[in-house]
Structure 1
């Protein structure tokens, strides 16, 4: 009887199965349509979002099919609640779809400049090249605000212009690199600087000039409005203070082997008088006139060119608690702030997207979230790539977040420091098989516990800054259990005055990370241990550093500057109780034995080639060559011929290196074809085949020996 009743009741309950519903969206559609068949699409993504909660659609598996063309958002696409079944916004049948935070401007609205005042301001070489648009005539009146940026600062961009998907920039001087500060008449914390160029004679009639620079430290950039320009003294007065003050600079493009002199270099921008090359623009906010030298092949604008101005802030946002939402296969571009953002989310998937031309912070910025996946995306021309955090550090519950198989590049377009390619934080995040390159500062920044960074290809970072790591973390003793393995990290050198750059930087006594099975080459230093503890560095290839393979110091012995932060941070967590005490027993006893000393670091079973000689480590400071600080043993000093073909990124061991590796049970280095994206990235319409590298050279004879 009980079974029969239960069966009968069961027939009255939902079976837990949903049907599949398709909602069609087309720029040629109408929001008065049903959207439920391809012949009657709605016109806007926001209307499709509203339909998700309508009768007959709510509770089902839904595909929002975005049909080809430009879908210009009128406001942020904003999601407020979780969905019980997966909801996916995707390109319909892999068509080329652009979702933008802007507006397209017809080319015929741009005219030649005829105003005599504007022509006189323009450089002579650009007067016949620059075109003009009266923005209000194109229906654009919101120009945004000029605001500070740089050094981890969040801001919303001003109006920007993109031509055929390529960004333009506010006109600047110099066009490349920086000017030196010659003197600081008001002292470090003043706002007055001098310089040596006579170019400033052109700047006196500028309405809203700005300056951007690394004013005091080469690891801290900042932008500030200019309140006064004195061309007689070649002197600028800034309207606001900079982060750390100002100092005399030592920037010299002719000499890249700088000493430790920091900062003191800048450029000016937002100047009509410096609009002197393709891809630059200036907006006169008082008149609404936009002046631009198009960055097209012809240098002019044709009806086929797609000119977009950014208007809205975030493209897509999600409130706390949103779940089961996916985005796939289309381009997201031209918003003034971020591409996709949200907090405290669950089960969010972002796949095969092209995310570009964002004004600030990130293409994807999802915090305190779980089971987020960002995969196979192209992210570029942003100011920050992918920012993901989640998991519970107090309980060490992993987030399940994964950032994999992405191509992330030129992700610090306006400003540098703090605008990272990938930033992960919390517990149990994974960043793997990504290709990161061409960043002004860090490529991969991490924080928290038990994160894994593997199979990434990272290169050409720290371009305009120093004291920087391509992979970087710092100042957190509690951040244990992290692993960096099977990565290729190369071409991270010092181009500016200041401290050296590193492939991996363990800053300010960062401790307890395992760095293994990586290949490093042509970095200033490959790895730095900045006074931290319990780091393990093993089974790596360190090839051809500009300075030394590794640089280590004992900064905690000579300064207590980080002590309060270090102690306060780890004491927030139950580090003396399970699971912390069982997973990280050395942390539980850290205060009992010279806590500020660089205890317990191990460097062994690495193969290295070093032009400077037989040492794998450079000690920065005295009294550091103690085994209890840095236990360095069984590393193999190789010659270039001990690797198969370094010129072709082939670092397989051979000859003496192969013999050593066999004796020590050290595996062969990972192949470069096994790092970076495993599948084509971006929407279908832009995908390219994954390049392969195969060695064709024939190695010569080789020698080598085992050292310390």
Structure 2
């Protein structure tokens, strides 16, 4: 039936599909970059925009009927968010789909494609004098006002999460806002003159932060209208961008306009590091650009000749696709790219699925799913995001009602391009999210951030995480002991931590986290510094069972809080707010579902320990440290019987000695871990 309708839609008007006495319940429309919104939306006379297709469906689709909007290949410039509201949804028997034609690649761009003729050599002497002599002939200028682009926004004085501002993309790759030092290098703080206020260590100061630097490079910035520094000012898990207040070249000092929340200092052992951003004076390498926001001019050193379609300036601050309170909508096979805000956002509603989409080069998060019920993100590629990759949350924490959302078979990598800390490949929140069979990798900080209850994280492959930061975990949650019941099972964690490695782990339960289960995982080279592959800071009632640890500095570690430290957290405002007001752990459903919370506020009412049993520990110098009740763990320096360790197949053979050393050890289905996509049409 579908194929016959598709053939008919090449020539027949739309209304024949929606009005023939109810004989045909499916509406089909076609959209193409070469189309026109005055067309009827047939194969041969397609529409030009998704917005027009949606509006036609609003006017003509009978209640309960399904619809398919087919996107033809090509690039769609989207000047506004494509919004689907409750009236645009379908029903369980009448799905509404926006999808790519089979074998075609429609690309929705949240910005403007800049024509080659917009770029010209720089001739203004006052501008040339600010550019490095070696770069002057290579840098081109585009007057954006002549293209109708005037408002480029502005950085605030300080920020941890960047605002939705324009960025430049060339041949599908994010270009570099002109910086010093170039590439991935950093300058370092030579001496802290005044850290600025640092409440965490009871330090008061009227100074907003002043430090000395090495060399004379900042002297070049004296004529720049403004200078921002991005840095790890105190801790290697807390980065921030701050405007410069003053530069004193004679004394080699820089003063910041706003204090860093932790002050400038040495919270971690490594040197404090920073870079300077958006300086015309530092536009000195191919791929760098500078935005003159006051005069709406773009300066760019293209890494290759500018061609038609090669250069995009992201402008759209709202989500490129925004589904609000709609149900039974499927978006399949679309590419969303080059936007200033989020790529795709789903809020409220039910049973919205994103299938086989590619979301990349976003200014903020790639995909956001918030509230509603039974939403699904499946077979999607999410990469090169400005902040996080996928945010997925829902359910009711007061009643512990699950949302039923799922993220399955997605590849999520290279996130945090603009926010280097606390921008996760995946952030889960609420109650009852399933994260399964995903490939999650390459992040400067943490890969999976979690808040809430009763989530399941299983059959995922997670690697090359925490590559730039420190005191971090590939999985992280903390500071809320009411968040319990999550199961982390049958995942493969490997290669966590970068060169600094004060401490990095695969699974990090921070600041009193308890009541989680880590079962049947494989950990390879997943502990750095003073951390274990599973690291517990202050919490208890976490269970680590039936896992395999390989070549980790420590398998499991626990840093215990003494009674005084525990009492300070228990009686502090933060936990009282989270444990008694946001939810109430002393009453049902919490007191019934999590009986171990009984007596939580009573000193000495329960032992504060974690549990470790039936784990296999291979070539790890330390099994565990801290307060654990442990039994039946097997420690060895030899191969315990892996199928092929050299090929990273850590499935245990049937004749492995583990099954004799640990009676009841359950086989880990290693062959099922990772993405399991089917080569089918979206």
Q: Deviations over 1:234-278 (max 9, x none)?
A: 2222222222221258xxxxxxxxxx4267321111112222222
Tell me the distance in 2 between the aligned counterparts of 1:656 and 1:326.
47
Tell me the distance in 1 between the aligned counterparts of 2:369 and 2:619.
41
Return closer, same or farther for 1:91/1:45 CA change in 2, 3 Å cut-off: same
Quote the offset at 1:659 in angstroms: 4.3
Aligned to 1:666: 665
Quote the offset at 1:682 in angstroms: 12
Tell me the distance in 2 between the aligned counterparts of 1:611 and 1:58.
62
Q: How does 1:15-414 map to 2 (within 5 A)?
A: 19-35=25-41, 37-56=42-61, 59-82=64-87, 83-85=89-91, 86-147=95-156, 151=160, 153=161, 155-175=162-182, 176-189=184-197, 190-247=208-265, 260-261=268-269, 264-295=272-303, 299-303=304-308, 306-316=310-320, 318=322, 321-360=325-364, 362-382=365-385, 383-414=387-418
- Residue 598 of structure 2, aligned match among 588, 603, 619: 588
Tell me the distance in 1 between the aligned counterparts of 2:170 and 2:334.
18
Tell me the distance in 2 between the aligned counterparts of 1:591 and 1:79.
47
Contact kept in structure 1, 2:463 and 2:496, CA below 8 Å: yes
Tell me the distance in 1 between the aligned counterparts of 2:230 and 2:110.
26
Contact kept in structure 2, 1:378 and 1:682, CA below 8 Å: no
Task: Give SS of 1:590's match.
Answer: coil
Quote the offset at 1:562 in angstroms: 2.8
Contact kept in structure 1, 2:235 and 2:266, CA below 8 Å: no
Aligned to 1:9: none
Structure 1 gaps of 5+ residues are: 1-14, 250-259, 620-628, 685-708
Tell me the distance in 2 between the aligned counterparts of 1:655 and 1:433.
24
Establish whether residue 518 from structure 1 lines up as the match of residue 521 from structure 2.
yes
Establish whether residue 649 from structure 1 lines up as the match of residue 648 from structure 2.
yes
Return closer, same or farther for 1:148/1:24 CA change in 2, 3 Å cut-off: farther
- Residue 631 of structure 1, aligned match among 629, 639, 642: 629
Contact kept in structure 2, 1:548 and 1:610, CA below 8 Å: no
Tell me the distance in 1 between the aligned counterparts of 2:460 and 2:127.
49
Establish whether residue 528 from structure 1 lines up as the match of residue 535 from structure 2.
yes
- TM-score, normalised to structure 1's length? 0.84
98-107 or 180-189, larger mean C-alpha shift: 180-189
Tell me the distance in 2 between the aligned counterparts of 1:410 and 1:558.
41
Quote the offset at 1:166 in angstroms: 0.8
Return closer, same or farther for 1:496/1:59 CA change in 2, 3 Å cut-off: same
Task: Give SS of 1:52's match.
Answer: helix
Establish whether residue 539 from structure 1 lines up as the match of residue 546 from structure 2.
yes
Quote the offset at 1:142 in angstroms: 2.5
Tell me the distance in 1 between the aligned counterparts of 2:24 and 2:488.
42
Tell me the distance in 2 between the aligned counterparts of 1:32 and 1:248.
63
Tell me the distance in 1 between the aligned counterparts of 2:250 and 2:676.
59
Tell me the distance in 1 between the aligned counterparts of 2:169 and 2:660.
52
Q: Deviations over 1:567-589 (max 9, x none)?
A: 43232435455543343211234
Q: Deviations over 1:546-568 (max 9, x none)?
A: x3222211125352443233343
Q: How does 1:678-697 map to 2 (within 5 A)?
A: 678-679=676-677
Return closer, same or farther for 1:493/1:17 CA change in 2, 3 Å cut-off: farther
- TM-score, normalised to structure 2's length? 0.88
Higher relative contact order (CA 8 A, sep 6+): 1
Task: Give SS of 1:664's match.
Answer: coil
Contact kept in structure 1, 2:510 and 2:537, CA below 8 Å: yes
Tell me the distance in 2 between the aligned counterparts of 1:511 and 1:682.
41
Task: Give SS of 1:183's match.
Answer: strand
Quote the offset at 1:611 in angstroms: 4.8
Quote the offset at 1:58 in angstroms: 5.3
Aligned to 1:445: 449
Tell me the distance in 1 between the aligned counterparts of 2:433 and 2:168.
35
Contact kept in structure 1, 2:102 and 2:681, CA below 8 Å: no
Tell me the distance in 1 between the aligned counterparts of 2:260 and 2:677.
44
Contact kept in structure 1, 2:90 and 2:329, CA below 8 Å: no
Contact kept in structure 1, 2:462 and 2:493, CA below 8 Å: yes
Q: Deviations over 1:612-634 (max 9, x none)?
A: 3xx31133xxxxxxxxx410222
Structure 2 gaps of 5+ residues are: 1-20, 198-207
Aligned to 2:200: none
Return closer, same or farther for 1:98/1:233 CA change in 2, 3 Å cut-off: same
Quote the offset at 1:409 in angstroms: 0.5
Quote the offset at 1:138 in angstroms: 2.9
Return closer, same or farther for 1:389/1:651 CA change in 2, 3 Å cut-off: same
Tell me the distance in 2 between the aligned counterparts of 1:248 and 1:371.
45
Quote the offset at 1:469 in angstroms: 0.9
Aligned to 1:489: 493
Q: Deviations over 1:427-458 (max 9, x none)?
A: 11101111111112111111211100011111
Tell me the distance in 2 between the aligned counterparts of 1:404 and 1:384.
17
Task: Give SS of 1:103's match.
Answer: strand
Tell me the distance in 2 between the aligned counterparts of 1:170 and 1:355.
21
